[in-house]
Chain A
Amino acid sequence: MRYEPVIGLEVHAELSTKTKIFCGCSTAFGAEINTHVCPVCTGQPGALPVLNKQVVHYAAKMGVATHCRINQLCKSDRKNYFYPDLPKAYQISQFDVPICEDGYVDFEVDGEPKRVRFERIHFEEDAGKLLHDEGEGTVVDFNRCGVPLIEMVTKPDIHSSAEAKEFLETIKTTLSYLQICDCRMEEGSIRCDVNVSVRPEGSQEFGTRVEMKNINSFSAAVRAIDYEVNRQIEVLEDGGKIIQETRRWDDSKVKNLVMRSKEDAQDYRYFPDPDLVAVEIDDAWMEQIKSEIPELPQSRYKRYIQEIGLQPKEARIISDAFDKACLLDEGISMNRVDSRAIANWILSDISKYLNDKGMELKDTKLTAAKLVDMIELIEKNVISGNAGKKVLIQLFETDDSVDAIVEKLGLKQVSDEGAIQKLVDEVLAANPKSVEDYKNGKKNVVGFLVGQCMKASKGKGNPKMINQCLNQTLAKM
């Protein structure tokens, strides 16, 4: 029998606010243990939470970007359970009225369009970190307590690990476009829990669901899903039954183990947090949020293919990176050079430079205007494409204008017809054998002669013009 996996994801993303969700402590990653702490985030008796407005703003932004209905009146609830990383012994989250509901994202998997629907998006506080020493104990670091999260819960619309991977990539790209999450995977800014069941292909009923926790990267999600799907199929094939339970993924061993069964399922006793008041996003605030949503990756991806003629792969590379897409679109909007040329520069030399240096565009001094200036000089034959590469390095690293760089490096190419003709005449005079060969039908000597001309001009001759001039002169001989 063939089986179809049915997968739902719960994705947690840390919001890139400056301060925690309920107090003014910093959210910066990597601080020394228990230094970003105060009475509020360590649950001292009597301390009270005050909601960070930016958290609401960011959560709603994600909701709008993913076509959710925004509950303009929502509230905070307590989820009660005991754990050392949860100092109040309840997590402030949202239960029955999350800030966003019923959305979706569209993306492509192997060129096929795919839609995954959202059940909900809500905001909540992160827990602390448990550090295990070599000895008997566990030590709790409260720095992460109260770092704001959004939890995004999908409907069970995903049917393969490949779809899950693409979905996660789409979420990541969207978060970075909205500039609400650092998306640093190694710091755990995006984490996910996976719900997996399988059913016979063609069946409409759902199989028994298993939840998997502790998945720390997208590639781990793929491995975990593949493992769990196979495990469930094997159980069923052997005539067994799937048990509703929570399993913990161990990525180093590439397997999962039971964490808890349905019987000891938690009773979280959610109720509205009496320390917090209702959140109301009025229409003016909603408009503000909507106005901050940029054109999203999917839309840019399609536009780059349709309007610029990029290959899907190329369009994806640019649309996946908000800064690159912005660079391209800003360049295009200037309407001075060929859009395709801008894209090519971004896909080749710009990407290579950033990769080599491990930098992002914002870490460099390159601007769209200067990139366009540079491309324009190439288009107008003022500099060669090769010279452009040299200019680009300077554009990354200095504040100089393109003209100043070209001047400074002496990159202006010789495009004066008289000068080119003189150059050609000199080279032809110095290479009578080649001229003879040409006359005898060996047309390919032109390449050699162009090279000689370039060499004679110390690389500044306009190769196109030299080529043209050579051909004309030889033809007349």
Chain B
Amino acid sequence: MELYQKTAAELSAMLNNKEVSAVELTKAAFARTAQVEDKVGAYITLTEEQALADAAAIDAKRAAGEALSPLAGIPVSVKDNICTKGVKTTCASKMLENFLPPYNATVTDKLHAAGLIMTGKTNLDEFAMGSSCENSALQKTRNPHNLDHVTGGSSGGAAASVAAGEVSIAVGSDTGGSIRQPASFCGVVGMKPTYGTVSRYGLIAFASSLDQIGPFGRCVQDAAMLADVLMGHDKMDSTSVPREYENLTAAINPDIRGMKIGLPKEYFGEGISQEVSKAVLAAAETYKQLGAEVVEISLPLSKYALPIYYILSSAEASSNLARFDGVKYGYRARDFDGLVDLYVKSRSEGFGPEVQRRIMLGTYVLSSGYYDAYYKKARAAQRAIRADYARAFEQIDVILTPVAPTTAYKIGEKTSDPLQMYMGDICTVSVNIAGLPALVQPCGYDSAKLPIGMQLIGPRFGEQKLINAGVAFEQASGLSNIVAL
């Protein structure tokens, strides 16, 4: 077995036993990347030189007998909307093509403090707006399971880097499914933690109230180990939750006998492909055999999740992205006539069409005369959806659903109709609206050998339940650590 095929947990053990050095691991990661990156295109920027220097520093610390965290010395890729001081952070946009952040995101500092080795910055849909990674203005990323298919998005580069074995773990972000849907499409594990449990400081905002950074891995334990590094209170982020963050990895317990799993009937109806439904229902059967109790539940407001999501996320985006005006950083139009023209041209030329669509929608729903009907109503509906979930979690421990209506579709298949693309988010957006944690992992393949994912949704701060249920399913199904290509 090659190093690139190993999980982070396995690599961690090897590092601990001095069977391998961080420098060797890092070299192996870049060797694998050199092998597959042409096909996959996961990265916008590679930081090999810095990575090797960081790895050498970790090796020196280990040699000196310093206490290191479990993931110290393990390569990790970082989504290119997370600020890395002095390393280009582009959001896959022409707008920020040459942007060198003057500071580190809190998670960047945390990764560094835990000794992880950043390999580079991964591709995404521009400003994380999209579900296929095709909206990147800078890079094409392909699904390692079938290069003609999309990776999903927006964290398509992160998912692909893990699926292709370029790294064992990756950091992504999820506003409406941007970790979970590409994890599903690429046959890897991805977790969107509870809103407020991972600092957003330095995450270039798409929709502040929905954005959440989270981990990717090829097994649930790896995702848990990375989550343990990422999660925690940060005083630089007012929405960060001050609480005791217990170590998820240490508390993994795959004995899920007696766990109550809800299957929301709204998630298995029209619009969801037969193959996907079947695979997720089969997973439910597996859980029954493992001693869990599976019950049908109802989340009646699910059908409104998509409009609520697109209203709230676009409204916030229209404001969050207003700062990109060609003045302080980023793209500035070459020719302009006066200040307003500078703004208009820089923004129209710097932003891609999807970003402009969302800014337009967001501006519209906040504008005078429409605020009450859209934004205010969506906020009220958001509260109703939260109440829906709260009611459900009075009876059950976790919810099991599909991640996306289909498996990874072909590149170019849905790009002409944005609405059709939005429909692909119906299974994931309500989790962000409600601020809940959710775990995605592979549960089978379709007839074209493309991975099918399933989603476990937990109550607020219920990450441990998700991890335990995820590990239990992994052990029973053997669907773990799938390296494509």
Contacts and interface: CB of A to CB of B under 8 A. Distances in A.
Asked if A and B form a direct contact in the complex, defined as CB atoms under 8 angstroms apart, the reply is: yes
Interface SS of chain B:
loop
Nearest to A90: B319
A270 B363 CA distance: 11
A45 B238 CA distance: 16
A84 B328 CA distance: 9
B327 interface: yes
Interface stretch (B43-51, B94-102, B251-259): B94-102
B322 A46 contact: no
Given A42-B328, A45-B101, A45-B204, A267 B319 contact: no
B316 interface: yes
Nearest to A39: B103
A43 B328 contact: yes
Contacts of B319: 78, 80, 89-90, 269, 271
Contacts of B83: 45-46
A87 B366 contact: no
A269 B365 CA distance: 9
A165 interface: no
Contacts of A274: 207-209, 239, 316
Contact of A46 (B105, B209, B235, B363): B105
A277 interface: yes
A82 B368 CA distance: 17
B285 interface: no
Contact of A44 (B101, B236, B318): B101
B323 interface: yes
Interface stretch (B161-169, B195-203, B389-397, B438-446): B195-203
A270 B366 CA distance: 7
A44 B329 contact: yes
Contacts of A47: 103, 201-202
B238 A269 contact: no
Given A44-B102, A47-B103, A274-B316, A269 B363 contact: yes
A267 B368 contact: yes
A270 B368 CA distance: 9
Contacts of B207: 274
Contacts of A156: none
Contacts of B238: 48-51, 275-277
A395 B340 CA distance: 61
B310 interface: no
Contact of B236 (A50, A51, A78, A267): A50
A129 interface: no
A294 B357 CA distance: 55
A342 interface: no
A363 B290 CA distance: 79
Nearest to A268: B368
Contact of B366 (A50, A89, A271): A271
A89 B201 contact: no
B63 interface: no
B1 interface: no
Contacts of A48: 200-201, 236-238
Given A45-B83, A140-B327, A267-B368, A89 B322 contact: yes
Interface string A196-225: 000000000000000000000000000000
Contacts of B200: 46, 48
Nearest to A266: B368
A46 B316 contact: no
Most chain B CB inside 10 Å of its own CB: which residue of A45, A89, A140: A45
Contact of A277 (B239, B315, B322, B371): B239
A271 B99 contact: no
A46 B239 contact: no
Nearest to B328: A87
Contacts of A140: 327
A76 to B, nearest CB: 9
Given A39-B103, A47-B201, A82-B343, A271 B323 contact: no
A248 interface: no
B64 interface: no
A271 B375 contact: yes
A270 B315 CA distance: 11
A138 to B, nearest CB: 8
Interface string A37-65: 00100111111111100000000000000
A88 interface: yes
A45 B208 contact: no
B363 A45 contact: no
Contacts, number: 96
Contacts of B339: 84
B247 interface: no
Interface in B357-391: 363, 366-368, 371, 375
Q: Which of B204, B323, B363 gathers the greatest number of chain A CB atoms within 10 Å?
A: B323
A89 B325 contact: yes
A43 B324 CA distance: 10
Contacts of B235: 50
Contact of B205 (A46, A78, A80, A271): A46
Contacts of A39: 102-103
Contacts of B205: 45-46, 275
A55 to B, nearest CB: 14
Interface in B303-348: 315-316, 318-319, 322-325, 327-329, 339-340, 343
B200 to A, nearest CB: 7
A42 B327 CA distance: 11
A188 to B, nearest CB: 23
A276 B209 CA distance: 10
A48 B327 CA distance: 19
B427 to A, nearest CB: 24
Interface string A225-240: 0000000000000000
A465 to B, nearest CB: 71
Nearest to B105: A46
A342 to B, nearest CB: 49
B392 to A, nearest CB: 25
Contacts of A87: 323, 327-328
A49 B200 CA distance: 11
B96 A45 contact: yes
Given A84-B339, A274-B208, A274-B209, A46 B366 contact: no
A234 B153 CA distance: 64
Contact of A275 (B102, B239, B329, B366): B239
Contact of A45 (B323, B343, B367, B371): B323
Contacts of B329: 44-45
Interface string A274-295: 1111000000000000000000
Contacts of B366: 80, 269-271
A43 B323 CA distance: 7
Contacts of B325: 82, 89
Interface in A66-104: 78, 80, 82, 84, 87-90
A328 B236 CA distance: 46
Contacts of B89: 45
A80 B322 contact: yes
Contacts of B96: 45
B236 A46 contact: no
Contacts of B239: 274-277
Contacts of B99: 45
Given A82-B343, A269-B363, A46 B201 contact: yes
A44 B96 CA distance: 12
Contacts of A269: 318-319, 363, 366-368, 371
Given A44-B101, A46-B202, A50-B237, 9 more contacts: A46-B204, A47-B202, A48-B238, A49-B238, A50-B235, A50-B236, A50-B238, A80-B318, A90-B319
27 contacts: A39-B103, A44-B102, A45-B205, A45-B323, A46-B200, A48-B236, A50-B235, A78-B319, A80-B366, A82-B325, A82-B340, A84-B327, A87-B323, A87-B327, A88-B323, A89-B325, A140-B327, A269-B318, A269-B367, A269-B371, A270-B366, A271-B315, A271-B366, A271-B371, A275-B205, A275-B208, A277-B238
In the A-B complex, the 5 residue pairs with the smallest Cβ-Cβ separation, listed nearest first, are A89-B322, A269-B366, A274-B209, A274-B208, A45-B204
